[in-house]
Amino acid sequence: MTLEGHDSALETLWLPFASGALSWPDDGALFLRARDGWPLHRQPVPGLVCVQGFKPEYDRLQRSGLQVDAAGGDRFYSLVLLLPPRQRDEARALFAEAVACLQPGGIVIASMANDEGAKSGEADLARLAGPLHTLSKNKCRVFWTSPLQGPVDADLAAQWRELDAPRPILDGRYTSRPGLFAWDRIDAASALLAQHLPHDLAGTGADLGAGYGYLAAEVLARCARVTALDLYEAEARALELARINLAPFAARAALGFHWHDVTSGLPQRYDFIVSNPPFHAQGRADRPDIGRRFIAAAAEALQPGGRLWLVANCHLPYEAVLDARFGTVRTVTQQGGFKVVEAVKARR
């Protein structure tokens, strides 16, 4: 995705339909990693079923009146559309899933930006499905299969379906999967925040943007007086893994797992909040507005005197919103390009 309201890959995905190279099927289509935008509303798309596990995009699709689910169903389709991610293992698994969702004689069509791996994506789909048709526009590439009776290489398709499977990382300490943020390691910023967390955090807390659960696990391991912890995460694939990774703590604290867009606010009050806010959406451009909204949501949700422990890249401009929303703010440390901040909500 590029600028807000302008999605070049989505626009290019619709090019074969606009040019007449493809026709919309009477029985509908499946759209994997769907995103909303004007191409979906320019002409009727009867029977379109959208699949999106990222909550902000899911909400946008739903508000547009489109049929959307967080996971695919068990139907088969004559057309499957997809917007593959940059991470190659995750993208290959998605190509294999798309082919597996086809009826006999069905077509898979995908679109990617040139600087997001379009050439590699096209080559990968060709390995599964044979020669492709291709068009280019908007610094993107759209490519689609001929009518398929199944994958050209069934063994390769089976291997690629497993590339996205949850797996142990860090000597089995956590379970993760490709495509998540810092999926195969401990993120340096989160590790820095965990290192400086005070041991006196207590009561009911929340982790905003919890990922696969590393920071929440550190809070529970370090802070014996925490009685409940809610994890908020916009990516459904990550939240599934957080449930697994936090299971060892379920007996000592009440755990909540919320598939939620934090920028829309939080539903309850907390004694403390920890967060390593995202500063990208689903593209590569910096989005400091997301982090600022995380901070505002935390301030609204904290009890008077409640504490926010935050880590962020040093260059991100969060100080103004922190100073405006909290009674006291202090920088605990700056290391390796990151800053750890404690902000305390005023008691009045």
* CATH code, domain with 286: 3.40.50.150
Under a CB-based contact definition with an 8 Å cutoff, are residues 216 and 246 in contact? yes
Please say which residue of 148, 164, 180 terminates a domain: 164
State whether 94 and 185 are in the same domain.
Answer: no
| Cα–Cα distance, 232 to 176 (Å, whole number) | 17
Within a domain: residue 159?
Answer: yes
Question: What domain range is 251 assigned to?
Answer: 167-344
| Cα–Cα distance, 222 to 267 (Å, whole number) | 26
State whether 233 and 335 are in the same domain.
Answer: yes
What per-residue confidence (pLDDT) applies to 2?
A: 41
What per-residue confidence (pLDDT) applies to 3?
A: 40
State whether 23 and 76 are in the same domain.
Answer: yes
State whether 300 and 177 are in the same domain.
Answer: yes
State whether 143 and 127 are in the same domain.
Answer: yes
Overall domain count for the chain: 2
Q: What is the pTM of this model?
A: 0.93
State whether 94 and 219 are in the same domain.
Answer: no
What per-residue confidence (pLDDT) applies to 273?
A: 98
Structure tokens at 29: 């289509």
What per-residue confidence (pLDDT) applies to 288?
A: 84
What per-residue confidence (pLDDT) applies to 250?
A: 96
Structure tokens at 237: 């694939």
State whether 296 and 321 are in the same domain.
Answer: yes
Of 228, 270, 275, the closest CA to residue 249 belongs to 228
State whether 113 and 175 are in the same domain.
Answer: no
State whether 256 and 328 are in the same domain.
Answer: yes
Within a domain: residue 2?
Answer: no
What burial class does residue 316 get, using C-beta atoms within 10 Å of its C-beta: 0-12 exposed, 13-18 middle, 19+ buried?
Answer: middle
What per-residue confidence (pLDDT) applies to 285?
A: 62
Of 255, 251, 257, the closest CA to residue 238 belongs to 257
State whether 115 and 35 are in the same domain.
Answer: yes
What per-residue confidence (pLDDT) applies to 283?
A: 55
Q: How far is CA 269 from CA 230, 239, 275, in A?
A: 11, 21, 15
Helices (DSSP H) in the chain: which residue ranges? 8-13, 15-19, 39-42, 55-63, 88-100, 118-129, 154-161, 188-196, 214-222, 236-246, 288-301, 319-325
pLDDT per residue as tens, the chain (348 positions): 444 458 999 999 999 999 999 999 999 999 999 999 999 999 899 999 999 999 999 999 999 999 999 887 778 999 999 999 999 999 999 999 999 999 999 999 999 999 999 999 999 999 999 999 999 999 999 999 999 998 999 999 999 999 999 999 999 999 999 989 999 999 999 999 999 999 999 999 999 999 999 999 999 999 999 999 999 999 999 999 999 999 999 999 999 999 999 999 999 999 999 999 987 555 556 688 999 999 999 999 999 999 999 999 999 889 999 999 999 999 999 999 999 999 999 987
| Cα–Cα distance, 205 to 31 (Å, whole number) | 37
Under a CB-based contact definition with an 8 Å cutoff, are residues 277 and 208 in contact? yes
Fill in the DSSP letter of residue 24.
Answer: -
Within a domain: residue 1?
Answer: no
Residue 72's CB is within 10 A of a number of other CB atoms, namely 16
Of 119, 124, 114, 66, the closest CA to residue 92 belongs to 124
What per-residue confidence (pLDDT) applies to 281?
A: 57
Q: How far is CA 319 from CA 281, 311, 323, in A?
A: 21, 12, 6
